[in-house]
Amino acid sequence: MHTIAGWPDEPMALFRDWFARAGADNGAEPETMTVCTATPDGRPSARILLLRGLDHGFCFFTNYESRKGRELDANPNAALVFYWPQPYLQVRVEGTVERMSAEESDAYFDSRERAKQLSAVVSQQSRPIADWRELRAEADKLMQSDAPVSRPKHWGGFRLLPHHFEFWSGSRDRMHHRCAYTLMDGKWSRELLAP
């Protein structure tokens, strides 16, 4: 990968390759990612989430009324960062987000463990609460029932549609390999970056 010819033409295939490699190399959760959002006036915030689907975009799920959900609805520009200490790789992705369909959100919600479904039902994510124990008690009470749990309307998926990638392959001497991909007129261009 010392020349531009050493990097593939299309970034999603490379991402899938590195993602698989990260999972095989250390057995950690390669789907762990930082999701960066911003308010309409540009105030950023970041948090760790899990990648829950990879198709023509990067899929994740959250409470639409949480800070991240409100920011993504108001300003659909977002960024993701994946860092895998072993095998010493990082990928940055920038793009715009869209809400996933109700059917996609329902299917993912239905696949979750019951306790995680109930957490989504009882938690008004990011909102102030008086006492965590009250929230826990509400979830525990619901766990006693066998009734099916429906996805709350305030909870669902987002898909980030990428328009920029930066791949970073680390080197202990700081002579890292970096390649950026930018989507222009429906085609990916690529360029090497200095470490």
Residue 1: per-residue pLDDT: 62
Express each pLDDT in 108-152 by its tens digit.
999 998 888 888 888 777 667 677 677 677 777 766 787 888 999
- Catalytic positions, written as ranges: 174
CB 63 within 8 A of CB 125: yes
CA distance 35 to 51: 10
Residue 129: per-residue pLDDT: 67
Q: Is the pLDDT score of 183 beyond 90?
A: yes
CA dist list (Å): 124 to 29, 104, 121, 159, 171: 26, 22, 8, 22, 43
Q: Is the pLDDT score of 154 beyond 90?
A: yes
pLDDT bucket at 27, cuts 50 / 70 / 90: low
CATH at residue 179: 2.30.110.10
Express each pLDDT in 28-58 by its tens digit.
789 999 999 999 999 999 999 999 999 999 9
Q: Give the CA-trace dihedral at 136, 37, 164, 154, to 10 degrees.
A: 50
Range of the domain at 138: 4-193
Domain total for the chain?
1
Express each pLDDT in 66-92 by its tens digit.
999 999 999 999 999 999 998 899 999
Average pLDDT over residues 147-163: 94
CA distance 30 to 14: 14
Q: Which of 162, 187, 189 is nearest to 82 (CA)?
A: 162
Least confidently predicted of 87-91, 136-140, 172-176, 179-183: 136-140
Cβ neighbours for 151, distance < 8 A, ≥ 6 positions apart: 105, 106, 109, 110, 117, 120
Average pLDDT over residues 6-30: 88
